[in-house]
Amino acid sequence: MADDTHKTIYVLNGHDPDLPGTGEPDTAGCATLGDVESLCVEAAARFGLTAECRQSGHEGALVDAIREAGSEGAAGIILNAGAYSRTSTALRDALMGVNIPMAEVHIGNTSAHERFRHHSFTAKAAFASICGFGIEGYRLAITGLAAKIGAKTDPQTDIMAQA
C-alpha cells in the first residue's frame, strides 16, 4: 500500500441493516448488524486494514462520518446507504468532497425491484457498486477496495493463507 499510515476503512450503514429480520428476509437472511460488522472486521484484517463500523438511520450522521473519514485520512469507505442512496444528494456531495475510494454495497439486487430503486446518487461517487450477494457483498467490496488501494493480504491474519 502506498501510504501505510492510513489503514482504516469506514464501513457505513444507513437505516436498513439495523433491523434484522425485517424488510426482505429472503434477501438478507437472518444476519444481524453485528454479523455484518464482524464480517467486515475480519475481511479488512486479511489486508492489514482496520474496519471502523458505523450505522445510523440519520442522513446527517452519515454525512458527518464521511467527513470524519476524510479528515482522518481513511484509506476508503464501504457504504450501504439503504434508501438514502436513491434520495441523498447530501451523501453524494460529501463523498465527492472527501475524495476517498468508496464502494457501494446493497444486500439485495436493486435491479430486481421497482424501477425507482434502480437509481443511486451515491453510486456516482463510487468506484464500484455491489448488489445482490447478501452480506457477502461487504467482503467483496472490502476485497475490491483493498485491490484499489494496493493493500495485500496479511499472512498473519489471513485465515485463507493459513489453511
CB 51 within 8 A of CB 103: no
Residue 21: all three cell numbers together: 429480520
What is the per-residue pLDDT across 89-133, written as a single tens digit (0 to 9) for each?
Answer: 899 999 999 999 999 998 876 654 556 554 677 888 899 999 888
pLDDT tens, residue by residue, 25-64 = 565 567 888 999 999 999 999 999 999 999 999 999 999 9
> What's 8-162's CATH class?
alpha beta
Q: What is the CA radius of gyration of the chain?
A: 15
